[in-house]
Structure 1
């Protein structure tokens, strides 16, 4: 399941990166929604026929894997709605509009504070209730949508995890829109002429980051991994999300664990051979 889901996620992220070049945010969001829905259908079709070896694998899928897909759908759908309803008017109206959207994120946080704390701190003591199918507890703040969802592909709290991940992205998007209104430079932004956009998959970039960090090529090996990841996020204007979890999935590959690095080597050797001819 890990290999299948990882490949699906890589393909989806590559599609979303291509779509992201589109200047029209509404069109880009619409295309992103369609691409993500198609990918989720593939994941679901494969999953409903799959039997986990144990509860740990099932928990891992619903706590860390599925939310990565669903969060993208939530995020792009929210961006589509926000941009579609963007009011006509001056800076004052737009600032009020985006600030209101930020307030909605804060409200969701306040309403789900206990689960935020549970998830952010890496707690596991309720995982069997939160992330195993059919183990819902009505006392654990369930979303009403859970009771209408396909219970073969849903646990009581995997959607909440996806919502948390999506809200993180939405907060960045909304804060940047507010900065634009104030005519302030967006942090770490680069002029259009200088932009170098990472168009490979996020998984590939994370694999590269870990390799470079392991080699100790930054500041004589003294740079923290988190700082290194942040540098790449800022440089390529990309959100790597829970890169530690992605690395865990890379490690769990049954074959060719360093797939991207192997591909880099093969491509470079081929380029050298072509030059030598």
Structure 2
């Protein structure tokens, strides 16, 4: 129930933020309206948890580790991004590029201050979940981070820290986009470094819908804690494609009449089985004879 409530509220918040970005031109006004929207969603979630207390440690951990930080990350991101844009120099291209590189260094350096917790965040660890995300579990442990600016709307200081990790990943991506995808300096995180060749999804987006639901239903990501919305957002970001809302796209799968609802996954399974069959039936001697027979003789 909590997951569904959070996912629905996140969609509402995203829609409101989208309207602000498209209709409000002044950065300061856009920031003010965005923070109001996000704070409203945060208070909605807090009120919901007060009215419907979390019944188990598992729910408390999921709320403090995944669900709430996802909202609060946007709260941090909008404030930091406005501060960066406000400091952007109006000068030569060389100085502007130097500015973006400096900001990228600052954003990329932050996780090193909490290297243990950042490694735990990146690897989706679970063995410290009770200590870090259940309120009052062990406030005297040296593993619990001390964060002066910790917002009490979050259940633990590590909930805030995970939100900030997420926000700074978003900032890195925005800075890279502002730089026109210029290869960053070595201080940038590995995730931000430009790949040799960018990958884009050029097939039909409905095929990714099957993949997304398959990943979600078989719990392949983040120990099964990744939501459908997160999975779809991840595929959209990595593969540069617009997929759309999970529920609406799933209806398209359900209403297929001429093909199977999982026709793409069926085709993938078929092709992989064919590859296995070809490998099992591979005869190297016969292949070499065929290769020699088809070889074009050199010109005289």
Matched, 1:84 2:72: no
TM-aligned CA deviation for residue 113 of structure 1: 1.5
Matched, 1:211 2:210: yes
Equivalent-residue separation in structure 1 for 2:112 and 2:238 (angstroms): 31
SS where residue 54 of structure 2 aligns? coil
- Aligned pairs (5 A) from 1:22-61: 22=23, 24=25, 26=27, 27-61=29-63
SS where residue 240 of structure 2 aligns? helix
Equivalent-residue separation in structure 2 for 1:264 and 1:124 (angstroms): 36
- Aligned pairs (5 A) from 1:210-229: 210-211=209-210, 229=235
Q: Tell me what 1:143 maps to.
A: 147
Matched, 1:21 2:22: yes
TM-aligned CA deviation for residue 60 of structure 1: 0.6
SS where residue 89 of structure 1 aligns? coil
Task: Determine which structure has more spread, i.e. the larger CA radius of gyration.
Answer: 2
Judging changes above 3 Å, is the alpha-carbon distance between structure 1 residues 137 and 29 closer, same or farther for their aligned structure 2 residues? same
Q: Tell me what 1:6 maps to.
A: 7
- Count of aligned positions: 217
Equivalent-residue separation in structure 2 for 1:125 and 1:180 (angstroms): 37
Superposition CA RMSD, Å: 3.7
Q: Tell me what 2:107 maps to.
A: 105
Judging changes above 3 Å, is the alpha-carbon distance between structure 1 residues 181 and 230 closer, same or farther for their aligned structure 2 residues? closer
SS where residue 10 of structure 1 aligns? helix
- Aligned pairs (5 A) from 1:156-195: 156-179=157-180
Question: Unpaired runs of 5+ in structure 1?
Answer: 189-204, 216-224, 241-249, 251-257, 269-277
TM-score by length of 2: 0.61
TM-aligned CA deviation for residue 9 of structure 1: 0.6
Equivalent-residue separation in structure 1 for 2:134 and 2:157 (angstroms): 8
Equivalent-residue separation in structure 1 for 2:97 and 2:74 (angstroms): 25
Question: Among residues 125, 128, 134, which one is paired with 1:126 in the alignment?
Answer: 128
Judging changes above 3 Å, is the alpha-carbon distance between structure 1 residues 121 and 22 closer, same or farther for their aligned structure 2 residues? same
Task: Indicate if the aligned counterparts of 2:76 and 2:167 stay in contact, CA closer than 8 A.
Answer: yes
Structure possessing the higher relative contact order (Cα contacts under 8 Å, 6 or more residues apart) = 1
Equivalent-residue separation in structure 1 for 2:131 and 2:211 (angstroms): 39
Question: Unpaired runs of 5+ in structure 2?
Answer: 184-196, 199-204, 215-230, 257-300
TM-score by length of 1: 0.66
Judging changes above 3 Å, is the alpha-carbon distance between structure 1 residues 231 and 68 closer, same or farther for their aligned structure 2 residues? closer
Q: Tell me what 1:155 maps to.
A: 156
Equivalent-residue separation in structure 2 for 1:266 and 1:56 (angstroms): 32
SS where residue 124 of structure 2 aligns? coil
Question: Among residues 240, 248, 256, which one is paired with 1:260 in the alignment?
Answer: 248
TM-aligned CA deviation for residue 213 of structure 1: 5.4
